[in-house]
Structure 1
Amino acid sequence: MTVTAQSRPAGLLLRRWRERRRLSQLELSIRAGISTRHLSFIETGRSRPTPQMILRLAEQLDMPLRERNEVLLAGGYAPRYPRAGLDAPELSSVRAALRMVLAGHEPYPAVVVNRWWELLDANAAVPLLTAGCAPELLAPPVNVLRLSLHPEGLAPRIVNLAQWRSHLLGQLRRRADQLGDARLVGLWEELRAYPGGLDPELPAGRVVLPMRLLADGGELALFSIASRVETAADVTVEELTIETFYPADTVTAESFRARLS
């Protein structure tokens, strides 16, 4: 099946992804098992790639499913990967698994976010972190990075704000660069304009960087671990990230257990 090709040729998109991955034509052609000449013809538009060739190159370039669909469309082909809403019946097992992870992580906070760090779900511990934030920052779609760094969000209560800003902005910049996503670049530009300073140095003696947050007159220390569905064949599922927060000290652990007991 073919569809109307988009304004940007498939070959140009593939070339941009090759350059983003810092691969030469020779390196990519070896990985994909094709000649450098053939790859050059594809990138310059002298040869129209088949959908199978697009997918072969996309796999070697480790392209996200969303972008693989875009290249297929640009080549005049139908998208290969579905993009169901998270509330769609076919994702019921995924939703159930996500809820199991979120609930099982209590009494500590856990969230599910999408590609742009928009909040899709959260467990009962998260409101303990967001108490006192401006209502407009908590109105859907909530962007958890904006909520963290905005002057009317968590930022005034983050003791090590400069370090935490450096961590979040660095993470956002890397994803924006990896994906070439203009929306992520725009978010990075917005957030870096917020006050708070930058301090990329890890505190002495620390193996992880905790977020140190003032709450009820005390201080909580939390670090996070992010998980993804590595076997995803749906765009929505591939773009999901579960971020679970863990206590960095016994005081924080006891505080959360007491709050949700």
Structure 2
Amino acid sequence: MARPSTLPRAPSRFRYLRGMTTVAPPGVGALLRAWRDRRRISQLELALRADSSARHISFIETGRSRPSQEMVLRLADHLDVPVRERNALLIAAGYAPHYPERSVDDPSMSALREGMERLLTGYEPYPALVLDGTYEVLAANRGIQALLEGVADHLLTPPVNAMRITLHPDGLAPRIRNLREWRGHLLDQMDRQLALMRSAPLRELYDEVAGYPLPESGGRESATGGGHAPFALPMMIEHGGRVLSFISTIATFNTPMDVTVSELAIETFLPADPETAAALKGITPP
């Protein structure tokens, strides 16, 4: 997929832990119980959903019974376990991962890349970008490029992260007129994600961006202070001596069969008023 030069794709990252005491990983029963507790579902309710019995669910969770591969996947489906974690459940149960994890650049992903590129290009001059599960930018259109004036180079050095660009004091934050509202929205969004899935990298990112200082002045304007209530919370950002207002929407893939695809998100920014729509036609590079 073609990518703007300032927003290259982040390379793969691997972390190696040395000199640490080895701890046996939890079994599939403990993991399933943790997901059931997270979803606040009783053993009986899960059994009814999965066409099983509360006794069998109890035996699986306590390790007295080893679930079949089909049962692991069925329980994971009814517990709405993320695709990546479904593979972890299968491995804990002694089975091979069911879902592949291929790079977006893999030849088998050509149709996906082409489709997303057409979507990004077709959305111009409005901003749009593709994100992975930790908000790293995989691709962006020219509408996004138009908004990056003044963003520090270190934030545009791979891996480029949308949350850092937005909330860092060297990023867009000083130009976001309703920063406190928009920052609260983004942190709430990440918090909801963390409540639904286990992700150490996402937790680290949340802790990092939540600790960024707010500007001493500015960023206090309310999106509802203009005399009328918007239909959704906009991001109000200064650009070229005017204020542009955007409504953010996020699209994900239904029924993904690949770990990478399950974590992709396409974020688009819809002009919240006619003035912003008109302005974008003049500032988006050809």
TM-score of the pair, normalised by structure 2:
0.86
Match of 1:37 among 55, 71, 74: 55
How far 1:189 moved relative to its partner? 1.3
Match of 1:104 in 2: 122
| 8 Å contact from structure 1 (residues 26, 36) kept in 2 | yes
Could you tell which deviates more after superposition, 49-58 or 188-197? 188-197
Match of 2:37 in 1: 19
Q: Which amino acid aligns with 2:259?
A: V
Q: Give per-residue Cα distances to partners, 1:107-144, cap 9 Å, x unaligned.
A: 01000001111100000111111111111111111110
Residue 165 of structure 2 corresponds to residue 147 of structure 1:
yes
Match of 1:211 among 222, 235, 255: 235
Could you tell which deviates more after superposition, 223-232 or 236-245? 223-232
Q: Which amino acid aligns with 1:154?
A: L
The count of residues paired between Structure 1 and Structure 2 equals: 255
Which structure has the higher relative contact order (CA within 8 Å, separation 6+)? Answer: 2
How far 1:174 moved relative to its partner? 0.5
How far 1:196 moved relative to its partner? 2.7
Tell me the distance in 1 between the aligned counterparts of 2:200 and 2:32: 17
Match of 2:11 in 1: none
Match of 1:224 in 2: 248
Could you tell which deviates more after superposition, 131-140 or 99-108? 131-140
Q: Please, which runs of 5 or more residues in structure 2 have no aligned partner?
A: 1-23
| 8 Å contact from structure 2 (residues 223, 236) kept in 1 | no
Q: Which amino acid aligns with 2:84?
A: R
SS of the residue corresponding to residue 142 of structure 2 reads coil
| 8 Å contact from structure 2 (residues 131, 265) kept in 1 | yes
Percent same amino acid at aligned positions? Answer: 47
Could you tell which deviates more after superposition, 39-48 or 181-190? 181-190
Residue 183 of structure 2 corresponds to residue 159 of structure 1:
no
List structure 1 segments (4+ residues) > 4 angstroms apart after TM superposition. none
TM-score of the pair, normalised by structure 1:
0.94
RMSD over aligned Cα, in angstroms? 1.6
Q: Give per-residue Cα distances to partners, 1:210-239, cap 9 Å, x unaligned.
A: 100011111111111111111321111111
Give 1 or 2: higher helix fraction.
Answer: 1
SS of the residue corresponding to residue 147 of structure 2 reads helix
